[in-house]
Amino acid sequence: MARGKKVTVYFCQSCGYESSKWMGQCQGCGEWGTMVEETIEKAAAGKGKRAEGILEELKTSRISEIDMHEKGRVKTGFLELDRVLGGGIVPGSLVLVGGDPGIGKSTLLLQVCRSLAESMEVLYISGEESLQQIKMRAQRIGTFSDRLQLFCETSLERMEQVVERQKPQVVIVDSIQTVYSESIGSAPGSVSQVREATSRLLQIAKGMDITVFLVGHVTKEGVVAGPRVLEHMVDTVLYFEGDRHASYRILRGVKNRFGSTNEIGVFEMKEEGLREVGNPSEFMLNGKPKGASGSVVACSMEGTRPILVEIQALVCHSNFGIPRRTAAGTDLNRVNLLMAVLEKRAGLSLSASDAYVNIAGGIRMHEPAIDLGIVLALASSFRNKAIDDKTICFGEVGLSGEVRAVNMAQQRVSEARKLGFSKCIMPNVCVPGLSGANGIEVIGVGSIRDAIAQIS
């Protein structure tokens, strides 16, 4: 068979857009400076099966003829991970686990391997560590079953041979950026290599009914290194978040074909590995100061789980011509908007003040229900008046200063009562929907003026 010729093409590292010439701005995603040069081999022109008259029998299926039986999910041994996956591992699925280097992705998957190897064959393929290095990490975690097999390799073709021979039920590839195919001329980690490796591993997962976990590193921009097409090819995308210098870790589902994408799992990094945090609210509120101004507890929903977080604010006179505003754990633009609403609708003169807003614990929250918490924390710090430690709040704030309704008010109030809070400030429109709030005082407010009056 005649070999194809090698040609030079340019790929966008952000979205995978292909171009025959270099350009400063990608026409696919609009990013600047992301086009890289790669050499690929184009297949030689020849007679296909259609031209030779060898036509395969093509058959379509009616939807009523398809035998539908849902495959049983496999429990990972981690309730937090099962929650994010939608109830467990779906056989034959392709799962991408992304996160910053050193955040704990390999440790989490090695602990999952330890649990799964008690009842099934598991293959752990590493392109970054030697067998001895993996063994050192495994000894810190605990004892492992002999059903867990290790394989250190970066060649995609050799991986395929081992998987076809061993026929494991679960395969972990750590990491996808180190895998290379001999049929692709570019370097490992390039757009072509990552896309080719993921495509062939997807065929293995679907064809052999094997669950495949891929580890992917995250860039400074917070996306998986390589093209975005990688996220579209897999069934599930999980992001492992958190400060690697802190003890907490958050596993967030970004994409899931078999479950919700709003769930999160909370873990704590210990010397022996990752430990599940069954009650994240209590964990996040640990160490909350007593009687300090600018501190309030708000309730946010992550999927079906209510999470209580401490919102801190510090407002002080600015020594510069332009006041400084910073936000950690939430959107800075949202903070600026709420400060403008406070100045216009509540009469608080914040235009000449520096403002710093922080969600304690390092967790990131973007739900509008924490708006009321940010507003009350800013007002408390500005007036230097502390909010009662047993008070919780939630509600979305509009541009007119109104406090708008949020969903799942009953679950939020129940979580607050469970953790010992005695007062809940919430939107007026949500109060009639409560079935009962025994043990906690519910205060409905219609505007931020009403809410601020509760802490004065």
Number of domains into which the chain is organized: 3
Asked which of 13-27, 44-58, 197-211 is least confident by mean pLDDT, the reply is 44-58
pLDDT, tens only, 115-127: 999 999 999 999 9
This prediction has a pTM of 0.78
Claim to verify: residue 312 and residue 263 sit in the same structural domain: no
Is 49 a domain residue?
A: no
CATH number, position 228:
3.40.50.300
Q: 274 and 390 in one domain?
A: no
Same domain, 322 and 448: yes
Q: Which residue among 225, 244, 278 closes a domain?
A: 278
How would you class 413 by CB atoms within 10 Å of its CB: exposed for 0-12, middle for 13-18, buried for 19 or more?
Answer: buried
Percent of the chain at pLDDT above 90? 56
- Provide the CATH number for the domain around residue 355: 3.30.230.10
Three-state SS for 6? Answer: strand
Task: Tell whether 406 and 341 lie within a shared domain.
Answer: yes
Look up residue 341 and give its amino acid.
V
Laid out side by side, the sheet with 325-328 consists of 325-328, 353-359, 305-317, 295-302, 391-393, 423-427, 441-445
Tell me, yes or no, whether 271 and 394 share the same domain.
no
Mean pLDDT for 81-108 is 91
Among the three residues 278, 308, 332, which one is the final residue of a domain in this structure? 278
Does 225 lie in the same domain as 335? no
In a domain, residue 334? The reply is yes
pLDDT score at 230: 81
Residue where the block lists tokens 């099966």: 49
Q: What is the pLDDT at residue 187? A: 78
Do residues 237 and 190 both lie within one domain?
Answer: yes
Residue 54 maps to a domain: no
Residue 221 has pLDDT above 50, yes or no: yes
Backbone angles phi, psi at 238, to 5 degrees: -115, 135
Q: For residue 63, is it within any domain?
A: no
Residues 264, 301, single domain; the answer is no
In this structure, the answer to whether residues 274 and 294 fall within a common structural domain is: no
Output 205 or 27, whichever has higher pLDDT. 205
For residues 343-357, give the mean pLDDT.
Answer: 94
Output the average pLDDT for the chain: 87
pLDDT-based confidence at 371, cuts 50/70/90? very high
Looking at 65-69, 183-187, 366-370, which range is the least confident one? 65-69
d(CA 251, CA 238) in angstroms, rounded, equals 7
Is residue 107 within 8 Å of 273, Cβ to Cβ? yes
Triad 172, 176, 177: Cα angle to 5°? 150
Same domain, 209 and 316: no
Which stretches of 116-218 are assigned E, i.e. beta strand? 122-126, 148-152, 170-174, 211-217
Is 50's pLDDT higher than 80? no
Among 278, 301, 336, identify where a domain stops.
278
Asked whether residue 409 is assigned to any structural domain, the reply reads: yes
pLDDT digits (tens, 9 = 90+) for 166-180: 999 999 999 898 999
Q: Is the pLDDT of residue 225 over 80?
A: no
| Cβ atoms < 10 Å from Cβ of 1 | 6
Query: What's the domain range around 16?
Result: 6-43
pLDDT at 450 over 60: yes
Q: What is the mean pLDDT of residues 29-42?
A: 78
- Is 302 part of any domain? yes
234, 116 Cβ separation under 8 angstroms? no
Q: How confident is the model over 421-430, as a mean pLDDT?
A: 94
Does residue 67 fall inside a structural domain? no
Model pLDDT, residue 37: 81
**pLDDT value of residue 60:** 84
Looking at the structure, do residues 79 and 210 belong to the same domain, yes or no? yes
> Is the same domain home to 260 and 308?
no
Question: In the chain, what percentage of residues exceed pLDDT 70?
Answer: 90
More confident residue, 128 or 278: 128
Within a domain: residue 55? no
